[in-house]
Amino acid sequence: MTVVGVTGGGLAITHATETDWLTHMSLSGLGMDTGASGILNTTLVALGLILVALAISLEGTFARLCSARRLSPRAHRMLSVGFVAAGLAVVVAGLFRNDGQPSHLIHSLASFAAPIVLAATVLGGRLAVGGLGRRFDRLSVAILVVSVGLFLAAYLAHLLPYALMELICFALIAAWLWLFEARLQQVIGQL
């Protein structure tokens, strides 16, 4: 996911016809740029499909946690649905450009839903599985606090370009997702 995101994002930036996108636009604005939109939107679709593939690959881990009674069948379903829903939201954001109604509405809803659903899924997974370690908990809190702080700094205080905030928060959420999956694998290894 990281390689696809960084490569696609980098290519979109280098092909953008609007050179002020970082200071004056969101990433969704870059998705409307004549030179960058195809690359960015294709990258979003690819990232969404990779996230759905991750959900499928986590099925074995969730099943083992269920058989060890570390995860309820209901929580297993909710985690699977959460990862798939987040992935599909990213795909939808890539398929619908941020230009004109209703496309703008669909794109915006999907763009905001994806990180929220993903964060809720990871938090729900933490609660459902139980102890994933204090380090995981501390890093989770730090990632959430930094993400909210960056959003407030960019959106309310205008201290940071909005697109830069989006890039940093996407990287933080990706790191959090990696950390969650790594901790699940360690829990499985201890069963």
Asked whether the beta carbons of 26 and 16 are under 8 A apart, the reply is no
Band of residue 24 on the pLDDT scale cut at 50, 70, 90: low
What integer pLDDT is reported at residue 80 of this predicted model? 95
157-186: pLDDT as tens digits: 888 888 788 888 888 888 999 999 999 999
What span, in angstroms and rounded, lies between the C-alpha atoms of 115 and 41?
17
Q: 6: closest CA among 178, 167, 176, 172?
A: 167
Among 19-28, 30-39, 40-49, name the most confident range: 40-49
What integer pLDDT is reported at residue 58 of this predicted model? 93
Q: 33: closest CA among 163, 140, 159, 134?
A: 163
> CB 129: neighbour CB atoms within 10 A?
19
Domain ranges of the chain: 2-190
Average pLDDT over residues 44-59: 95
What integer pLDDT is reported at residue 22 of this predicted model? 60
Q: Between 134 and 28, whose confidence is greater?
A: 134
Q: Is the pLDDT of residue 55 over 70?
A: yes
What integer pLDDT is reported at residue 21 of this predicted model? 60
